[in-house]
């Protein structure tokens, strides 16, 4: 079942019109109320609907037909059920999971509903330019392919297919530390800049080698993720992994599938994580405690690449980042899988913008599913918007073609919103184009 609120609402509307549901006597309004924000609550509610409708699997039978090709998609949500059909359940749980009860995933989506658009009329919008420039590189769209780990868990080509799509559509791509493709291969396939996302390692000597490797490969920027330093409680991932009975000895040392999880930096255990292996065995420089701003200073001093922080959600931390010479920020809660704050990133964005005061770029991610979402973020002061799950839905559904289709749909929606708002360039988009809903 789709976990995105919009997808759930569309499925509910379809189910409410079913003669089977009508015959069961279930009130569609009550069904709507019962649907919660967590995967567990949604599953329980649909199980209730199945029982009342008289047969297990009713909601599966009632779902609209799946699209047969990327060209059939009307929006990015059309790719989700196809991807779910194709992807093993443990891998789907890894992609789908949030923290605790997944409420922050729902909050990210609901945050966009707090803002409405203010369309403008009688402006010549026959030509619009949605392009943005990041550190000297021009992109035709502000939509960034955010880092997502273990992409070969979703499609056999993984990040290679995504890099090809990024090249074809000329989008910025950010590669995860725990990608199933190396930074060298990603840059070669992309044929242009690929940023590298860095997870904290307990050994500074390893961190330095990893950073130097990304720089040698040609990455112009590194994004250090700071929102998982306190850990994360991913119940949905664990629950779905328990339903997967495979013994995944092809990917790691064996046992149940755990995409995105690495036991240690070891060639045997990280055969699918090329960015974690191949380093010299230098004397360890073990970190004391979890990183602080001192670590950020050290990271800045260790490279000539641009250094961004991924996971900043407050004005105080944004101002501190500028003080410490950080080159950019991702306003992010890891797609709702870091802390369970129940606070949307789009809600956090204005105070981060105020803390930065225009001095460094800001990329906002978390729940972006529509071109209108991208427009609202830019109106609130973001430089660009990052997507994660939507392009993985495209990847899992149709490989490279699916990723390209997701990017094309979002770009088209964004440019239509620009036209309806009377804006012909990204620089013209501002607070005057949105209003509290």
Task: Supply the residues annotated as catalytic.
Answer: 334
Q: Which residues pair with 133 in a beta bridge?
A: 138
Burial code of 393-424, b = ≥16 C-beta within 10 A, e = fewer?
Answer: bbbbbbbbbbbbbbbbbbbebbbebbbbbbbb
Q: Interhelix angle for 345-356 vs 371-379, to 10°?
A: 30
> Which pair of structure tokens corresponds to residue 89?
């359940």
Burial code of 328-351, b = ≥16 C-beta within 10 A, e = fewer?
Answer: bbbbbbbbbbbbbbbbbbbbbbeb
Give the Å distances, CA to CA, from 168 to 71, 128, 143, 197.
16, 20, 14, 22
Burial class (CB in 10 A: 0-12, 13-18, 19+), 225: buried
| 48 in Cβ contact with 92 (< 8 Å) | no
C-alpha atoms less than 13 angstroms from C-alpha of 405 in its C-beta half-sphere: 24
- CA 391/CA 412 separation, integer angstroms: 15
| 405 in Cβ contact with 394 (< 8 Å) | yes
Residue from 260, 299, 331, 340 nearest 98 by CA: 340
- CA 86/CA 77 separation, integer angstroms: 15
Residue with tokens 């749980």, as numbered in its chain? 93
- CA 102/CA 3 separation, integer angstroms: 10
SS3 state at 435 = strand
């Amino acid at each position: 079942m789709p976990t995105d609120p919009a997808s759930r609402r569309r499925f509910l509307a379809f189910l409410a019109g079913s003669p089977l549901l009508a015959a069961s006597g279930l009130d569609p309004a009550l069904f709507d109320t019962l649907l919660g924000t967590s995967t567990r609550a949604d599953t329980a509610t649909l199980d209730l609907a199945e029982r009342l409708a008289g047969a297990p699997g009713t909601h599966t039978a009632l779902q609209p037909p799946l699209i047969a090709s990327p060209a059939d998609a009307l929006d990015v949500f059309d790719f989700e059920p196809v991807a779910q059909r194709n992807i093993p359940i443990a891998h789907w749980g890894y992609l789908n999971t949030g923290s605790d009860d997944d409420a922050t995933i729902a909050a990210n989506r609901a945050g966009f509903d707090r803002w409405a658009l203010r369309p403008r009329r009688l402006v010549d919008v026959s030509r619009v330019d949605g392009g943005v420039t990041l550190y000297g590189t021009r992109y035709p769209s502000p939509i960034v392919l955010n880092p997502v780990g273990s992409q070969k868990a979703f499609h056999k080509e993984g990040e290679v297919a995504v890099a090809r799509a990024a090249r074809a559509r000329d989008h910025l791509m950010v590669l995860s530390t725990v990608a199933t493709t190396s930074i060298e291969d990603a840059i070669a396939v992309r044929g242009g800049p690929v940023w590298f996302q860095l997870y904290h390692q307990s050994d500074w000597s390893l961190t330095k080698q990893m950073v130097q490797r990304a720089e040698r490969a040609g990455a112009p920027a590194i994004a250090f993720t700071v929102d998982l330093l306190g850990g994360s409680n991913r119940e949905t991932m664990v629950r779905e992994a328990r339903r997967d009975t495979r013994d995944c000895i092809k990917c790691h040392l064996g046992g149940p599938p755990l995409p995105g999880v690495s036991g240690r930096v070891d060639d045997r255990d990280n055969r699918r994580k090329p960015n974690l292996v191949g380093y010299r065995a230098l004397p360890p420089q073990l970190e004391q405690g979890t990183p602080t701003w001192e670590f950020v200073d050290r990271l800045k001093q260790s490279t000539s690449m641009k250094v961004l922080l991924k996971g900043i959600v407050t004005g105080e931390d944004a101002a501190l980042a500028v003080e410490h010479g950080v080159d950019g920020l991702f306003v992010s809660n890891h797609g709702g899988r870091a802390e369970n704050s129940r606070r949307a990133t789009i809600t956090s964005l204005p105070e981060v913008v105020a803390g930065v005061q225009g001095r460094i770029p800001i990329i906002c991610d978390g729940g972006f599913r529509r071109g209108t979402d991208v427009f609202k973020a830019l109106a609130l002061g973001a430089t660009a918007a990052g997507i994660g799950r939507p392009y993985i839905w495209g990847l899992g559904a149709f490989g490279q073609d699916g990723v390209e289709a997701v990017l094309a749909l979002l770009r088209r929606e964004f440019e239509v919103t620009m036209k309806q708002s009377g804006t012909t360039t990204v620089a013209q988009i501002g607070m005057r184009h949105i209003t509290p809903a």
